[in-house]
């Protein structure tokens, strides 16, 4: 497939990738082409920002989660030759698993999708030394993917002086610069960018950044580079495991669907869209609800899914919604299947305790407490294997990611979490016949058996609770966004 595409990457985190990516995407959208965005790695917030603030489709791509051909399949899915794809890198260009492996790195993603790279370099405090820095990256780029450079946090005078030297010595296109000013920066906090809902005048702010961006960066030059890439080859023939469509022909006209109620609001917003789509492919209907604003779990649902997010920031609102807390606890006690990850896992505890000692009562499904440790407790990729086969076939693993500052007095011991580089293991997840509760965020396409098992549990619950089974048909997908 011939698809115009470009990756925005950098030598290290904090170089300005997100600012450049958002400004470029907005500038391209202003010009008119159908723009889509992808985020390298397990980040939730950047795709959410792309969708809610810029108004374009966005999703994650991760070569550790889905391998080479699986990643290509997910990249190509739903795309046409009319699209313009912007991929945002993660960390430093070559930083993958454990900081040393290529899997999961921006470079590996660019390599398997044959995407040219524009390197964003923070040049603040640097003179000619920026040239050997970039030269090192070009020398290490054996696929010759780096096709352009943008300098960040520098002055116009320095840029005009250094640009001809860089182009002469490095034979690389220098596409522009961003000035060193606060107005050109995006806000951040401990888990990444602030949520889009929290950014005051966020769209206006991005438009202002974009207006300055197009003055100092050659968008036309980036478009030219993006149009010179080759078609993606087949390469690694190990495809991502794909579920078969629900029913023999993708669905049956009169078969009812079990409904998985997904918590989605200000507090719970970390979801991989591929996970939700996989649940639908296996035959579930998706209905969204808010643990903050609603007073009970949706009537007629047959399973609950609590994703990650920021429940600690909405502790008072969640704790005050006593009817919802009671409804969640009652559903769990009655045997409704439940999956909860990270922030959702915290919500199901007896309480969340803040650094100042403030205690917020939660659903009480788990008789334990979560508290702020003041430090990063766990970070990075994991492979998870059950001690007793319930959601996965015996001996199989599912891949995921952890990133949290809170810890629980009971993290569970139903599964092993294995670090893919070091092989270090630790116990995690509270699991039962029809529930999976833990800190790790899972990526279902890395082992679709998990999604299939969850939907099957919802179907069984529905069959045993006929009075609650509402008539969703196979060709209907409930999507109630708040």
- Please list the active-site residues: 342
How many angstroms separate the CA atoms of 446 and 385, rounded?
Answer: 13
How many angstroms separate the CA atoms of 329 and 435, rounded?
Answer: 13
How many angstroms separate the CA atoms of 63 and 443, rounded?
Answer: 12
Nearest Cα neighbor of 344 from 304, 302, 398 is 304
DSSP annotation of 421 reads: T
E-strand spans in 203-354?
259-263, 268-270, 285-289, 303-306, 308-309, 338-341, 349-353
Q: Residues 482, 265: contact at Cβ < 8 Å?
A: yes
Task: Compute the chain's Rg from CA coordinates.
Answer: 23
Q: Is the Cα dihedral 379, 107, 76, 59 positive or negative? A: positive
Count how many residues are written for the chain: 482
CB count within 10 Å of CB 367 equals 9
Phi, psi dihedral angles at 8 (to 5 degrees): -100, 115
Alpha helices by DSSP H, 15-125 = 17-31, 45-49, 63-76, 106-113
């Amino acid at each position: 497939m011939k698809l115009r595409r470009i990756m925005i990457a950098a030598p290290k985190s904090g170089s300005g990738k997100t600012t450049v990516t958002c400004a470029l995407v907005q500038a391209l959208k202003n010009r008119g082409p159908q723009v889509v965005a992808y985020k390298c790695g397990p980040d939730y917030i950047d795709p959410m920002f792309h969708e809610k603030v810029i108004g374009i489709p966005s999703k994650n791509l991760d070569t550790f989660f889905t391998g080479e051909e699986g990643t290509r399949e997910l990249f190509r899915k739903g795309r046409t030759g009319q699209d313009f794809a912007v991929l945002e890198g993660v960390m430093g260009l070559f930083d993958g698993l454990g900081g040393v492996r290529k899997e999961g790195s921006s470079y590996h993603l660019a390599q398997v999708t044959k995407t040219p790279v524009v390197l964003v370099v923070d040049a603040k405090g640097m003179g000619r030394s920026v040239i050997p820095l970039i030269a090192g990256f070009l020398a290490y780029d054996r696929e010759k993917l780096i096709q352009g450079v943008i300098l960040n946090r520098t002055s116009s005078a320095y840029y005009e002086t250094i640009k001809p030297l860089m182009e002469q010595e490095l034979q690389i296109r220098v596409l522009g610069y961003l000035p060193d000013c606060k107005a050109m920066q995006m806000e951040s906090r401990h888990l990444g960018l602030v949520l889009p809902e929290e950014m005051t005048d966020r769209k206006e702010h991005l438009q202002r950044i974009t207006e300055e961006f197009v003055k100092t960066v050659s968008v036309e030059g980036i478009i030219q580079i993006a149009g010179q890439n080759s078609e993606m080859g087949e390469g690694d023939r190990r495809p991502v495991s794909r579920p078969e469509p629900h029913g023999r022909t993708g669905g049956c006209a009169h078969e009812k669907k079990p409904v998985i109620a997904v918590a989605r609001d200000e507090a719970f917003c970390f979801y991989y869209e591929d996970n939700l789509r996989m649940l639908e492919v296996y035959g579930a209907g998706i209905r969204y609800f808010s643990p903050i604003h609603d007073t009970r779990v949706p009537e007629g649902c047959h399973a609950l899914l609590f994703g990650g997010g920021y429940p600690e920031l909405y502790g008072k609102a969640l704790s005050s919604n006593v009817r919802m807390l009671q409804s969640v606890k009652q559903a769990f006690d009655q045997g409704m299947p439940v999956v909860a990850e990270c922030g959702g896992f915290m919500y199901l505890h007896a309480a969340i305790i803040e650094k100042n000692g403030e205690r917020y009562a939660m659903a009480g499904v788990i008789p334990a407490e979560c508290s702020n440790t003041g430090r990063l407790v766990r970070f990075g990729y994991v492979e998870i294997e059950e001690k007793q086969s319930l959601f996965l076939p015996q001996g199989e693993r599912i891949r995921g990611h952890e990133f949290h500052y809170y810890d629980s007095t009971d993290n569970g011991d139903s599964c092993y979490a294995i670090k893919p580089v070091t092989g270090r293991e630790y116990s995690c997840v509270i699991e039962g016949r029809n529930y999976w509760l833990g800190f790790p965020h899972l990526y279902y396409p890395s082992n679709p058996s998990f999604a299939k098992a969850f939907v099957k549990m919802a179907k069984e619950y529905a069959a045993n609770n006929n009075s609650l089974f509402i008539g969703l048909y196979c060709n209907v997908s409930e999507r109630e966004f708040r």
